[in-house]
Chain A
Amino acid sequence: MAVAEPIIANDQDTGESELARRLARTWRQPTGIWGWFCNTHHTDIGLRFMVTAFIFLLLGGILAAMIRLQLIRPESSLMGPDLYNQVFTMHGSTMIFLFAVPMMFQGFGVYIVPLMCGARNIAFPRLNAFSYYLYVGGALVLWGGFLTNTGPDVGWFAYVPLSGPAYSPGHRADIWSQMITFTEVSALGVAICLATTILRHRAPGMTLNRMPILLWEKLVISMAVIFAMPAVMVASGLLLLDRLVGTHFFNPAEGGDVLLYQHLFWFFGHPEVYIIFLPGAAIVSTLVECFSRRRIFGYTPIVVAVVATGFIGFSVWVHHMFAVGLPQLSESFFTAASLMIVIPTGTQFFCWVVTIWNGRLQLRLPMLWCFGFIFVFLIGGLSGVMLASVPVDLQVHDTYFVVAHFHYVLIGGALFPMFAGIYFWFPKMTGRMADPTLGTWHFWLFFIGFNLTFFTLHFLGLRGMPRRVYTYSPDMHWHWLNVLASSGVVFMTAGLLVFLANVIWSRRVGEIAGNNPWGDAGLEWAMSSPPPPYNFLHIPTVSGRDPLWEDPPDQPVVVGLRDDIRETLVTQSLDADPQHKDEDPGPSIWPFLTALTVSAAFVGSIFTPWAVPIGAPPVIVTLIGWLWPRGQSPTPRPGGEAWVR
């Protein structure tokens, strides 16, 4: 049947509970241990990403506390250089690759994007699940290495030649570079899933210029990931070849180039900052709108700013390399580009002020965290302006001033919005409200501790304390500032403990939330909390930027999707007009098995290049299993045929 009934209809199905029952059965995810590995639903995978990433935040935090403890007194004998170098490398790598990106990009994105789009599931759900297992694989490799004295000790950036075969014996640097491969493949997989979901699975009516800012930002970041991650995988891949096969990419004596590595690394490394920060900014935009009780001011400027950040983010990488001594003209170009990126960021700040100014501000817990973000990120962003200037950068580069700067940017740009987002979407994820009193305690403890630690580090940098030193002489007069900085750790730890207690307590006995406790506009609040496995009873349609605020009660919904197979709606990229129906592939063990074989090949190639040819056939076998044709769907029910407009 070419043209069936109209796909958008006003008539609500009378048998709604019957439909809900059937959808729940169709979209049910398997249970049990085996079922756990088969699950491909985005809310489950998204939560797993978040929980796992949070565990690594805590582990990375423990390492940070070890660093602060070591530096609390000069000539401390707590850790030797061998262990300290591993600890600070592990701290950086864990926080960036195992926490920040998996939490802010993968975790939040995978959970929230399909809900905001009005989709039943993420696009390519198996690829999504595969990405999660691969991320866990990378995390286990890195931490397994650390726990067996094979933790990388060359810095989270692993500059050659220090990380090369001549100066880094053993397999420590190999572990680092394969961890990169694991996590970056994972990020690439999720980027493809998210970009496709946003471009092809939006609810009818959600044209590009009605897309929530958060979706815009996820789209831009997905693109940034697709362009940035290959650079670091090339860098770490070439490093691995140098170390394992004896190639000479980075051997100056044989015509290699050590600066090539830095260019490749920072071509990824700087966009990475925006990959971490933009999700935070998008959360703030969402929350400012919700708690100001009015449409966000300057939708178009903010979207343009987000897209511009995505582009300019790729042209500033050299400001990490000013000290290598480049020609002045090219340095000036990168100074200009680095300063230019202030404009889109400033735009967002201005729009937030105006939205609050012209709105009715409810300073509830998630909003408090947004204000924390604004304060902290402002300081980090402004000290970033100083670093964009070549002469100033040459003085404070690689000192604790820079450490202070990027903790203000990354903790400000990721951790504060993350907590805002967790408190905001906690009712959606668990069905219960998080306790606001505990949340406020959490905020103040963390905010005070954070500023105590990291504001102090600015002064240490100006007093000439370089980064990555395992100890310092008592004659350098850095002692008391270090004591002050370390004391903030106590407050931050207390704040995190309050948060954990809050989550555990509120999840059990928190106030029941209902569908939309904050009265927000996004589609993710249209279904029960937590979302059912099919997300939406009917795929919604939207007629404005703030669906739940603007849409009339008789807003049409999509009907005609089958409820006996996992049918999803595919819409056009620009106008979100319904285009055709697709079938969600459903639960499968193959993503997990493929992740196992791929992990085996990756881990093997830490030790021998033969792991690639030997490891490839099992990967191919599991891929065949994954891609094996599924055969015909069960007998179609009337009204369930493929629909063509």
Chain B
Amino acid sequence: MCKPLHIAPLLMAATLLASCKREERTLRQPPPASETLNTIQISGLNPGANSIPTPPSSNMYQESAYAVSEGQKLYEGYNCVGCHAHGGGGIGPALMDRDWIYGSEPGNIFATIMQGRPNGMPSFRNRIPEYQAWEIAAYVRSMAGLLPKGVSPNRTDHMNVKPAESSTSEQTPIGITGLPEQHK
């Protein structure tokens, strides 16, 4: 009697499997890979020229709605808002626009957080655990619309002074992106 119904769950499963990663909640982080840390520490501290490869583990954060939402909480909690506001910038540069001084790749943002940058951005090495820096990096990218909509956070339960990340249209990073080939 139910034969034709067998196909439907399979189809549905197939569609939903595609978005499975989005729902992944890694509660216990993998131990930090010390090699990554060391490669990223090397920095010329000049705009752009950091050809930092994005380690594969960072995808885990870019693709998980949970990780991005954790990043959002940390962005507020660690008072990134104090300088960058809710992406509009203030003391620090805006994060929701297309201009990226030190690159828009997750690795670039990670390095910026960890190493600090001239003219005000402090280094958070040792202060912010690596996985949290990756989460914040993922969230920062969502502010510029660089993450898929299904992963980007929607409104928070605070005063919402700008449209939510999930309704930010995608920016094309310009200026110095940090990608080696574009720098040439």
Chain A: residues with CB nearer than 8 A to chain B? 33, 36-37, 48, 51, 80-82, 136, 140-141, 143-145, 147-150, 161, 164-167, 169-172, 242-244, 246, 248, 251-254, 607-608
Contact = CB atoms under 8 A, between A and B. Distances in A.
A161 B4 contact: no
B160 interface: yes
B13 A148 contact: yes
Given A147-B13, A149-B20, 20 more contacts: A48-B1, A51-B2, A140-B8, A141-B12, A143-B9, A147-B16, A148-B23, A149-B24, A164-B157, A166-B154, A167-B157, A169-B65, A170-B23, A243-B154, A246-B167, A251-B155, A251-B157, A253-B158, A253-B160, A607-B150
Nearest to A247: B155
B16 A145 contact: yes
A148 B4 contact: no
A32 to B, nearest CB: 10
Contacts of A254: 159-160
A165 B165 CA distance: 12
B23 A149 contact: yes
Contacts of A608: 149
B24 to A, nearest CB: 7
Contact of A171 (B22, B155, B160): B22
B69 interface: yes
A150 B68 contact: no
Interface in B94-114: none
Interface in B59-95: 65-66, 68-69
B163 interface: yes
Given A36-B1, A82-B27, A148-B13, A242 B155 contact: yes
A37 B155 contact: no
B5 interface: yes
Size class of the contact patch on chain B: 35 or more
7 contacts: A80-B27, A81-B27, A144-B13, A166-B69, A170-B150, A246-B163, A246-B167
B33 interface: no
A144 B157 contact: no
A348 B121 CA distance: 74
B3 interface: yes
A148 B155 contact: no
A167 B73 CA distance: 10
Interface in B140-184: 149-150, 153-160, 163-164, 166-167
B153 A148 contact: no
Nearest to B70: A169
Contact of A36 (B4, B8, B160): B4
B4 A33 contact: yes
Given A140-B12, A149-B24, A169 B157 contact: no
A432 B19 CA distance: 48
Contacts of A149: 20, 23-24
B69 A169 contact: yes
B9 A144 contact: yes
Contacts of A251: 155, 157-158, 160
A148 B102 CA distance: 37
A33 B3 contact: yes
B150 A171 contact: yes
B72 to A, nearest CB: 8
Contacts of B1: 36, 48, 51
Contacts of B66: 169-170
Contacts of A246: 154-155, 160, 163-164, 166-167
A244 B157 contact: no
A246 B156 CA distance: 9
Contacts of B25: 82
Main SS at interface, chain A: helix
Interface in B36-77: 65-66, 68-69
Contacts of A36: 1, 4
Contacts of B27: 80-82
Contacts of B20: 148-150
B66 to A, nearest CB: 5
B9 A165 contact: no
Contact of B159 (A145, A242, A253): A253
Nearest to B157: A166
Contacts of B9: 140, 143-144
A48 B5 CA distance: 12
Contacts of A80: 27
B74 to A, nearest CB: 13
Closest 7 CB pairs of A and B: A165-B154, A169-B69, A170-B65, A148-B16, A169-B65, A144-B12, A246-B155
A172 B16 CA distance: 12
Nearest to A137: B8
Given A80-B27, A246-B164, A161 B157 contact: yes
B12 A248 contact: no
A38 to B, nearest CB: 12
A480 to B, nearest CB: 30
B157 A148 contact: no
A171 B25 CA distance: 13
A390 B156 CA distance: 34
A165 B23 contact: no
Contacts of B167: 246
A136 B5 contact: yes
A382 to B, nearest CB: 40
A634 to B, nearest CB: 31
Contacts of B164: 165, 246
B159 to A, nearest CB: 5
Contact of A166 (B19, B155, B163): B155
Contact of B19 (A143, A165, A171): A171
A482 to B, nearest CB: 24
Query: Among the interface residues B20, B65, B155, which one has the most CB atoms of the partner chain A within 10 A?
Result: B155
B14 to A, nearest CB: 10
B160 to A, nearest CB: 6
A244 B13 CA distance: 22
A196 to B, nearest CB: 27
Contacts of A161: 157
Interface in B106-129: none
A51 B1 CA distance: 10
B160 A172 contact: no
A376 to B, nearest CB: 32
B150 A148 contact: no
A166 B68 CA distance: 11
A161 B155 CA distance: 12
A62 B27 CA distance: 26
A291 to B, nearest CB: 32
A608 B149 CA distance: 9
